[in-house]
Amino acid sequence: MPDQDRDSFRSIEDLISYLSAIEASVEGEVEKIANSFDTLTDRISASLRSTLGDQSWLPETTKPSPPPPPTIATPLGYFEAYRDWISRHRAITAAVVCFLGTGAFLIWRRRRLNRVKRRAKRGKNGQRTDVVVLAGPPSAPLTRSLSLDLERRGFIVYIPVNSLWEERLIQAESKADIHPLHLDVTSPSSLASTIRKVTALLNPSEPPKYPLRLVSLILLPQTPSPPESRSIAHISADSWSDAFSIHLLSPFTLLQAFLPLIVSHKTSILFLSHTNTPSLSPPLHGEANVVAHALDSYISTLRKELTAAGDINIARFKLGAFDDGSDRDALKMAIALRHDDRAASNSGPETAPEQRKVRGSPLRELHLEVFDAIVGKRKGTVYVGRGSRTYDILGKVVPQGIVGWMLGLKAQKEQAQNRKQADDVVDGFQASPGWERLDQISGEESA
């Protein structure tokens, strides 16, 4: 019995399939007949219109109207053609407009900045009255470049030093208005004595006709640059202590010592540091990342605390890459000044690591922005140098996974070391010129 039911079901399914095929065939034939009928009807109507239209005995009102003449497309003018193309390519048009607009704005801004003549205020007799304290390593190319530019614009520049060699390095510039300032942040008594001397210089017992005025304190906190990239698990406690002491505690102590003078003279405070690498917070750069973010927190707190003291400008300069072609003279001078010390130590020359040249922005842009910040025209965060703003936006917007992929987290140790060497070149102002680079330039000059 079950076999008979199964056979009956199969026969019913076959019948349904057969009827479906017949239905599809009938629909196809009906559609063909309808199309043929429509074609025939169109031909008969066209023939009747043609025949009746040629008959003279029919009144004009009953004759079918003639077909409209073919339309001939007239060529569009230039304006209509451009407007039609823009309406059909709106995305491309918007991108081109944004690109051209941004470029035009940058060109206009650069020309406007270059047209303004920037000079420090002087007394009526031409005497210099504005004093700037530039707290950065005297041997760093950035410190030398800023000091020379500020002196050329009419400022009296003081650079803190804590060794005889650094004092000789400043005196070798042979500039009458660039002076060394002996200052030891590790000795409270020495620091207090220096501040008393500076206070006596700015506020003498007998006020002169044109008194001096402390207009700016420029701090150049250095970015930690260990010999090789290393993870947090391999950073010792001594390394953390050295990083905090050298790169954070020293500038903080110096600023605290000058704070009474800053409040009384309404002195602007400028922080300049390289931020391309710390902006991305990459792995294997723990010391640099921690120091950079700690500095940002310190500046934010300082701004809030000095709000009640009056109009004190605190500017945070985030520096990118700069052309380092101007630092060869400084390195040659450092070679000459340390030649005797190197000969006395009888230490053989070391092999200089191969470093890539990173092309950046001209230092003139930094000079102009620093001057504008000193006089109060630039406030808040200032981005100067190639990549400074881009890296900052990438670090805030782009997910860390994409940033890690861009930096190549699976790179070998040699590749990580090469990237670190390139960052050191871009940084432009280490604590002192390395012996390796001095030997390299000395070898080039002797060749």
pLDDT above 70 coverage of the chain, percent: 73
- Among the ranges given (82-96, 224-238, 358-372), the one the predictor scored with the smallest mean pLDDT: 224-238
pLDDT digits over 315-327, tens only? 999 999 888 544 4
Report residue 190: phi and psi, to 5°. Answer: -65, -40
- Among the ranges given (28-42, 92-106, 259-273, 335-349), the one the predictor scored with the smallest mean pLDDT: 335-349
Task: Judge whether residue 134 has pLDDT over 70.
Answer: yes
Distance CA 287, CA 123 (A): 46
Task: Judge whether residue 426 has pLDDT over 80.
Answer: no
What is the average per-residue pLDDT within 10-31? 75
- Summary mean pLDDT of the chain: 77
Long-range contacts of 435-441 (CB under 8 A, 24+ apart): 435/350, 436/350, 436/351, 436/352, 436/353, 437/331, 437/352, 437/355, 438/331, 438/334, 438/335, 438/338, 439/349, 439/350, 439/352, 440/352, 441/328, 441/331, 441/332, 441/335
What is the average per-residue pLDDT within 438-447? 44
For residues 19 and 297, the model is more confident at: 297
3-state secondary structure 201-251: HHCCCCCCCCCCEEEEEEECCCCCCCCCCECHHHCCHHHHHHHHHHHHHHH
What is the average per-residue pLDDT within 429-446? 42
Confidence of residue 283 (pLDDT cuts 50, 70, 90): confident
Q: What is the pLDDT of residue 210?
A: 82
Task: From residue 200, give the alpha-carbon distance in Å to each of 132, 177, 227, 269.
Answer: 16, 18, 43, 21
Q: Which residue has the tokens 């920037």?
A: 118
Q: What is the pLDDT of residue 350?
A: 40
Q: Which residue has the tokens 């990083």?
A: 243
- Among the ranges given (86-90, 132-136, 147-151), the one the predictor scored with the smallest mean pLDDT: 86-90
Nearest-CA neighbor of 202 among 278, 282, 133, 293? 133
Q: What is the pLDDT of residue 335?
A: 43
Task: Judge whether residue 353 has pLDDT over 60.
Answer: no
pLDDT digits over 409-424, tens only? 544 444 555 555 545 5
What is the average per-residue pLDDT within 148-168? 92
Edge-to-edge strand list for the sheet holding 314-319? 178-182, 156-161, 130-135, 213-219, 268-274, 314-319, 380-384
Distance CA 425, CA 94 (A): 38
Number of Cβ within 10 Å of residue 165's Cβ equals: 14
Q: What is the pLDDT of residue 428?
A: 45
Task: Judge whether residue 389 has pLDDT over 50.
Answer: yes
Q: What is the pLDDT of residue 20?
A: 76
Angle between helix 286-305 and helix 237-244 axes, rounded to 10 deg: 40
Number of Cβ within 10 Å of residue 250's Cβ equals: 19
Task: Judge whether residue 1 has pLDDT over 50.
Answer: no
Going by the DSSP 8-state scheme, the letter that residue 183 receives in this structure is -
By the 8 A CB rule, do 357 and 397 touch?
A: no
By the 8 A CB rule, do 385 and 322 touch?
A: yes
- Among the ranges given (77-81, 95-99, 137-141, 364-368), the one the predictor scored with the smallest mean pLDDT: 77-81
For residues 68 and 156, the model is more confident at: 156
Confidence of residue 401 (pLDDT cuts 50, 70, 90): confident
Burial class (CB in 10 A: 0-12, 13-18, 19+), 74: exposed
Q: Which residues of 102-111 are buried (b: 16+ CB within 10 A; e: fewer)?
A: eeeeeeeeee
Q: Which residue has the tokens 């193309």?
A: 85
Task: Judge whether residue 435 has pLDDT over 50.
Answer: no
Task: Judge whether residue 305 has pLDDT over 80.
Answer: yes
For residues 421 and 187, the model is more confident at: 187
Q: What is the pLDDT of residue 117?
A: 81
Confidence of residue 181 (pLDDT cuts 50, 70, 90): very high
In sequence order, the 6+-apart residues with CB closer than 8 A to the CB of 335 are 438, 441, 442
Q: What is the pLDDT of residue 64?
A: 65
By the 8 A CB rule, do 264 and 199 touch?
A: no
pLDDT digits over 199-232, tens only? 998 888 777 888 899 999 999 988 887 666 788 8
Helix (H, G, I), strand (E, B) or coil at 10: helix
Going by the DSSP 8-state scheme, the letter that residue 122 receives in this structure is B
Q: For 259, what's the count of Cα atoms within 13 Å in the CB-facing half-sphere?
A: 12
Distance CA 339, CA 333 (A): 10
For residues 152 and 224, the model is more confident at: 152
pLDDT digits over 55-69, tens only? 666 676 666 666 667
Whether the predicted model's global pTM rises above the 0.75 cut: no
Helix (H, G, I), strand (E, B) or coil at 166: helix
Task: Judge whether residue 254 has pLDDT over 70.
Answer: yes
What is the average per-residue pLDDT within 70-80? 68
Q: What is the pLDDT of residue 255?
A: 94
Distance CA 132, CA 149 (A): 12
Q: Find the Cα–Cα–Cα–Cα dihedral 396, 240, 138, 298, rounded to 10°.
A: 50
Q: What is the pLDDT of residue 409?
A: 54
3-state secondary structure 394-422: HHHHCCHHHHHHHHCCCCCHHHHHHHHHH
Nearest-CA neighbor of 230 among 286, 277, 288? 286
Going by the DSSP 8-state scheme, the letter that residue 266 receives in this structure is T
Nearest-CA neighbor of 146 among 246, 220, 222? 220
Distance CA 72, CA 79 (A): 20
Number of Cβ within 10 Å of residue 7's Cβ equals: 10
SS3 helix, strand, coil % of the chain, rounded to 5? 60, 10, 30
